[in-house]
Amino acid sequence: MNGLVIEGITEGIQGSMKYLADQINIKYNAIHGNPPIFEIRVDLEDLENGKRTVVFDPTIQSNSRENGIRDILQKIIDDFISIAIQIPGRIDSSYTTGDYLVEIKDQFQLYGAMQVI
């Protein structure tokens, strides 16, 4: 019975991740006429050595303020995975405590979905 619950949770998370991956895909948005979900400003900044560098605002990578695009996406993914702790109690337990987080974090198809994002 736990296998069915874990499979259902995994499919729900994977569906959410696929939707997110579609929403940040440029080609998908162009075909479906969707506006971008992120707005990133690109600037050229002069460096001290006379060269120029490209700067993104917000940053595309993670940063110390945790407001980069990668940070935002990770928070969204974490929210998807938190579905595993929303189910009150495990079916295989005589107690009402426990969740399915450990099993969900071991699902390899979710790793693949995260890599797509």
pLDDT exceeds cutoff 80 at 92 = no
Residue 76 has what pLDDT?
94
Tens digits of per-residue pLDDT, 57-91? 989 888 888 889 999 999 999 999 888 888 766 66
Tens digits of per-residue pLDDT, 27-63? 999 999 999 888 889 999 998 898 999 999 989 888 8
CA atoms of 9 and 47, how far apart (whole Å): 49
Residues 6+ apart with CB under 8 A from 95: 89
CA atoms of 99 and 83, how far apart (whole Å): 10
pLDDT exceeds cutoff 70 at 96 = no
Most confident residue range from 21-30, 78-87, 90-99, 101-110: 21-30
Residue 6 has what pLDDT?
83
pLDDT exceeds cutoff 90 at 15 = yes
pLDDT exceeds cutoff 60 at 12 = yes
Q: What is the mean pLDDT of residues 100-116?
A: 84
pTM: 0.74
* CA angle at 28 for the pair 73 and 36, rounded to the nearest 5°: 50
